[in-house]
Amino acid sequence: ATPTAVMVATGKGASQGVLIKGGSSLEKAHKVNAVVFDKTGTLTIGKPVVVSAVVFSSFSMEEFCDMATSAEVNSEHPIAKAVVEHAKRLRQNIGAKSEHITEVKDFEVHTGAGVTGKVGDRMVLVGNRRLMQACNVMVGPEVENYIAENEQLARTCVLVSIDGKIAGAFAVTDPVKPEAEHVISFLRSMGISSVMVTGDNWATAAAIAKEVGIKEVFAETDPLGKADRIKDLQGKGMIVAMVGDGINDSPALVAADVGMAIGAGTDVAIEAADIVLIKSNLEDVVTAIDLSRKTIFRIR
């Protein structure tokens, strides 16, 4: 495309909320034949809510909530915000006084897994099964049942362990964006296949993928693993666009032929991307590819 055509298209994109950072991404986007979507915050709304909570051990609901809250108030993760919010409501329901948030020592964020730290003299872990396994916390059959039940319903389970034992769990749900399903079927009609990569577990990922019509899924993937999946597709000769919103998506956004960041996403993702979807609407994935196709083919 001529520089003028690129400029016109970039302007047109901007007016529709599709921010194209350079001419080269516009030139590449028309060749895209695979779109890789992150799950949380990209295919889903990204505002998870807790829909159930359970205490497995001898801890009181009150104590359990305080421990989970103390650890999660330090996390920026949307799941952490949902847990804190729900714990607060639970306390109100049982008529307990305002929560006891204890300062956490040795706080650590485990990307794609959860958080850990010392609450008072107790070691508290909040996160997924993988986090528990990595920290040698046994996940017994009762807990496994709770997890399986909820994951089949596309919910993510947040486990809480206190001093090396699972104390309880929260089940979190994050609804898919209303446009997700038809965008994926529209992409298919354009000859473009859709893939999901997520840090979340396989069962939840599969349930969400089914809801939106995605057949190829990679779950339990860390940030570099997401980039590796992009490279695998490129190795098979695919031209790949990656759509993501999180810090954990930035290596994949960079690895992709065209990186597209959700406007409501984190600054790190927006910086790593070639194209920003300002409205955070997945229909703009189609808008961007379509704009590129029109720009390239009009000239030739």
Residues with catalytic annotation? 38
CA atoms of 161 and 95, how far apart (whole Å): 24
| Structure tokens that stand for 226 in this block | 């997401």
Q: Does 38 bind ligand ADP (CB under 6 A)?
A: yes
Task: Please pick, from the candidates 79, 230, 242, 261, the single residue that binds ligand ADP as defined by CB under 6 A.
Answer: 79
In terms of CB distance, is 113 or 289 closer to ligand ADP? 113
Residue 128 interacts, among ligand ADP, Mg ion, none and using kind-specific CB cut-offs from 5 to 8 Å, with ligand ADP
Q: Does 212 bind ligand ADP (CB under 6 A)?
A: no
Give, in degrees to the nearest 5, the angle at Cα 24 between 22 and 25. 75
In terms of CB distance, is 5 or 135 closer to ligand ADP? 135
In terms of CB distance, is 9 or 212 closer to ligand ADP? 212
In terms of CB distance, is 198 or 292 closer to ligand ADP? 198
Task: Please pick, from the candidates 20, 126, 214, 296, the single residue that binds ligand ADP as defined by CB under 6 A.
Answer: 126
Tell me if 190 sits within 8 A of 135, measured CB to CB.
no
Residue 158 interacts, among ligand ADP, Mg ion, none and using kind-specific CB cut-offs from 5 to 8 Å, with ligand ADP
Stretch that binds ligand ADP, among 58-66, 141-149, 192-200, 261-269 (CB under 6 A): 192-200
Task: Please pick, from the candidates 70, 99, 119, 127, the single residue that binds ligand ADP as defined by CB under 6 A.
Answer: 127
Q: How many CB atoms lie within 10 A of CB 34?
A: 21
Q: Does 113 bind ligand ADP (CB under 6 A)?
A: yes
Q: Does 40 bind ligand ADP (CB under 6 A)?
A: yes
Amino acid letter, 137: V
Task: Please pick, from the candidates 161, 248, 250, 295, the single residue that binds ligand ADP as defined by CB under 6 A.
Answer: 248
Q: How do 122-127 and 18-20 pair as beta strands?
A: unpaired
Helical ranges in the chain per DSSP H: 3-15, 23-29, 61-72, 78-93, 129-134, 141-151, 180-189, 202-212, 223-235, 250-255, 267-272, 283-299
Q: Does 161 bind ligand ADP (CB under 6 A)?
A: no
CA atoms of 271 and 20, how far apart (whole Å): 12
Angle, helices 180-189/202-212, rounded to nearest 10 degrees: 70
Stretch that binds ligand ADP, among 33-41, 54-62, 93-101, 179-187 (CB under 6 A): 33-41
Q: Does 269 bind ligand ADP (CB under 6 A)?
A: no
Q: Does 168 bind ligand ADP (CB under 6 A)?
A: no
Report in angstroms how near the CB of residue 113 gets to Mg ion at its nearest. 14
Q: What is the signed CA dihedral for 292, 18, 78, 74, rounded to 10 degrees? A: 110
CA atoms of 136 and 47, how far apart (whole Å): 30
Q: How many CB atoms lie within 10 A of CB 246?
A: 26
Q: Which residues bind ligand ADP (CB under 6 A)?
A: 38-41, 72, 75, 77, 79-80, 112-115, 126-128, 156, 158, 198-200, 246, 248
